[in-house]
Amino acid sequence: SAGPRLRLAAALNLLLLLAGAQAPAPSHRLTARDLARLRAALERPFADLQAAFYSIVGLDSLGARVADEKAACNFIKSHVDSSSVDSLFYAAQSIRVLSGCEVTVSNETRELLLAAVSEDSSVTQIFHAVGALNGFGLPLASQEALSALTARLSKEENVLATIQALETASYLSQQADLSGIVEEIEDLVARLDDLGGVYLQFEEGIETTALFVAAAYKLSDHVGTEPAMKEDQIIQLMNAIFSKKNFETLSEAFSVACAAGSLSRNRYHLPVVIVPDGPAAVSHHQPVLKAMTDVMSQPLTQASVKLDYAKSASSKATVLQQTAFALSGDIFELNFMNVKPASGYYDFSISVDGDKRFIANKVELKVKVSTEVGITNVDLSTVDKDQSIAPKTTRVAYPAKAKGSFTADSHQNFALSFQLIDANSGAELIPHQTFVRLHNQKTGQEVVFVAEPDSKNVYKFELDTSERKTEFDSASGTYTLYLIIGDATLENPILWNVADVVIKFPEEDAPSTVQSKNLFVPKPEIQHLFREPEKRPPTVVSNTFTALILSPLLLLLILWIKIGANISNFSFAPSTIVFHLGHAAMLGLMYVYWTQLNMFQTLKYLAILGGVTFLAGNRMLAQKAVKR
């Protein structure tokens, strides 16, 4: 195979990558593994007639067949219950799919089914009856069925009933005016919930959403009208339905299978999947990206896949445009390396045409072009600080190691310069990682520096012992110098032991022991300093003062006696006694407040005592005033 190529696979069903400018990004699809899981979920042994129906019709939607059709037919014949409309529906629709399976229908059964198509039955009953009649090939008056359905639907306004009405209408003759039912599609679309702009689903769940998609396309194909769903709505519906990878119930698996089948086989909308085969990267060594074809459906070999443009992600310059992909087997290929792109990331815009049913057929991919790096013009030199001696330069070629060692100390610096080029094209490269690593052989210390390119894209690194002694902890010794080159677009990252460098730091700075910067040893303990209690005077002092403070009281008593406090007029009137007692109680309350109570309790007692004392005092003073 000539040269590196970019291979893409275009296939049906769901999307992986960014679609056009405004449509939401399709994020979910049925991969081969998902399809296998879905098939396995449907291929379970039949538990009952309803399970048989789900399996048979579900597998048919995926384009597969039941393993043993004869056994399935016998199962249906033995399990059908002629008195139940539901049972008849499952049987009828299953035998429609199985080849060579016939069930005879008696007249009573037919009458039962026709009677069920009336306004008095639920929508589900009408749906099953009409479906059964259709499956058995029995005649049915479509107009009456339609009017019964419409009448019943106006009473049962929920989502599931409406979906079942859509399915029912797809069994009725096109002579009947089905436009009323077709309009329900639009109403249902309006009831979908938009989740974050990515998913669109009913609040009833994914099963309901999947059943809706299947029913909408079935009816639209039947009447010949395009369903009223916009492209981004369809993509969002797909995201929601195919986000479900594990199926807890058979009915869930059935609904997803029906939706997948309808989205790949209807007359109006065909969602397109464009997937890079393997990682979206090209290089000189790995020319072919393995394409992953979507297994569920056939690849769209009738389509034409075209590269609209390929732009460099960083410079936005168009590298290639309007080139067609070539079909090779199942896979569409484009030889991108023919235009000799520089390494880096590119934005590809790809469109698929050929069928006007295609939707989401414009995709943007990010493609990485990788290359190999080469190191050239590697010069190691010792530069004298005083500029008195000319620098000694040694050239080294990758991957050899420089012979001899270089010294950097207080009067000479060590310098390294090199250039990086693209090994295939010879152009200069600026990778993300250009590191110079110095590793102390004895202590295990390592220090890493970044080498910077100058204006001419020549990388330079200089080691000045006086500037860098903190990084090295002033540990003198022999260091091995490594050059590390790396980038996402490089296929050959480099770790190259270039030389040995002896670094001598001035003696006075050398640490006594080299401490390994081990982060995980216990740190020195922090002694918590509790709050020091306030300095208090010795008890003697405060006791003395307490005694001292009582002395003015003594003085007061003496003075009062001396002045001649007249207590002879003390009348023992009740109000006087009450007053004095109350007042004393208030003073006592103050003491109790100090020792025990809080403000609220005190106020309570004070109110009582104060009230009493006030009244008594009032009386007492009034009497005093009168006496005066």
Partner 1 sequence: AGGSVGSVVRRFLAEYGSGTPSRLKLLDAYLLYVLLTGALQFGYCLGVGTFPFNSFLSGFISAVGSFILGVCLRIQINPQNKGEFQGISPERAFADFLFANTILHLVVINFVG
Which residues form the interface with partner 1 (CB under 8 A)? 534-537, 541-542, 545, 548-549, 551-553, 555-556, 559-560, 563-566, 583, 586, 590, 593-594, 599, 602, 606, 610, 614, 617-618, 621-622, 624-625
Least separation in angstroms between CB 608 and partner 1? 13
Choice between 223 and 606, CB closer to partner 1? 606
Amino acid at 592: V
d(CA 201, CA 204): 8
DSSP 274-309: EEESSSSEE-SS--BPPP---SSS---TTSEEEEEE
Q: What are the strands of the beta sheet with 6-12, ordered from one edge?
A: 326-328, 331-334, 6-12, 270-276, 358-359
Choice between 190 and 548, CB closer to partner 1? 548
3-class DSSP state of 229: coil
Choice between 399 and 574, CB closer to partner 1? 574
For residue 378, what are the β-bridge partners?
A: 396
Choice between 190 and 626, CB closer to partner 1? 626
Least separation in angstroms between CB 572 and partner 1? 19
Least separation in angstroms between CB 623 and partner 1? 9
Choice between 529 and 554, CB closer to partner 1? 554
3-class DSSP state of 66: coil
Choice between 529 and 599, CB closer to partner 1? 599
Least separation in angstroms between CB 581 and partner 1? 14
Least separation in angstroms between CB 590 and partner 1? 5
Choice between 137 and 552, CB closer to partner 1? 552
Least separation in angstroms between CB 528 and partner 1? 24
Cβ 145 vs Cβ 115: under 8 Å: no
Choice between 393 and 542, CB closer to partner 1? 542
Choice between 259 and 585, CB closer to partner 1? 585
Number of Cβ atoms within 10 Å of the Cβ of 490: 22
Least separation in angstroms between CB 514 and partner 1? 53
Least separation in angstroms between CB 476 and partner 1? 59
d(CA 394, CA 414): 12
DSSP 159-185: HHHHHHHHHHHHHS-TTS-THHHHHHH
Least separation in angstroms between CB 541 and partner 1? 6
SS3 sequence of 508-577: HHCCCCCCCCCCCCCCCCCCCCCCCCCCCCCHHHHHHHHHHHCHHHHHHHHHHHHHCCCCCCCCCCHHHH
Least separation in angstroms between CB 529 and partner 1? 20
Choice between 586 and 612, CB closer to partner 1? 586
**Can you read off the two tokens belonging to residue 181?**
């039912």
Cβ 363 vs Cβ 18: under 8 Å: yes
Which residue from 143, 171, 174, 149 is spatially nearest to 162, judged by alpha carbons? 149
Counting other chains too, the contacts that 115-120 makes at CB distance below 8 Å and 24 or more residues apart are 116/85, 117/144, 117/145, 117/148, 118/148, 119/148, 119/151, 119/152
3-class DSSP state of 466: coil
Cβ 336 vs Cβ 385: under 8 Å: no
